[in-house]
Amino acid sequence: MAQKTVEFHEEASRESLAAFEWYLDRSELAAAEFAKELGRAVERIASAPQRWPEHSSGVRKFILHRFPFVVFYREHAAKIQVLAVAHARRRPGYWKGRT
């Protein structure tokens, strides 16, 4: 089975960039590691989107291991949509209105 295309919601793109820039302000190495881990997460989600637990209403979550972030995504017929790259300890559920 071919992998589905992964698309980021506009706000999820902003969140991932903001997190990368936050790490970059502190350490180039940390920023690079964050980008690498997020990239691996997206690859793993694309290869087996149903592997990770359902959070609510068809939305699944992938927890990053080395960074306090969760990737919330929804699988559609032709694509996977990343709804949020959310800090695990801030404002839970703020992204739930995104479609």
Tell which wins on pLDDT, 64 or 94. 64
pLDDT at residue number 49? 94
Determine the pLDDT at residue 1: 57
* Domains of the chain by residue range: 5-87
CATH for 5-87 is: 3.30.2310.20
Tell me the per-residue pLDDT of 4-60, one tens digit each, with 9 for 90 and over.
899 999 999 999 999 999 999 999 999 999 999 999 999 999 999 999 999 888 999
pLDDT at 95: 83
CB 59 within 8 A of CB 74: yes
pTM to 2 decimal places = 0.92
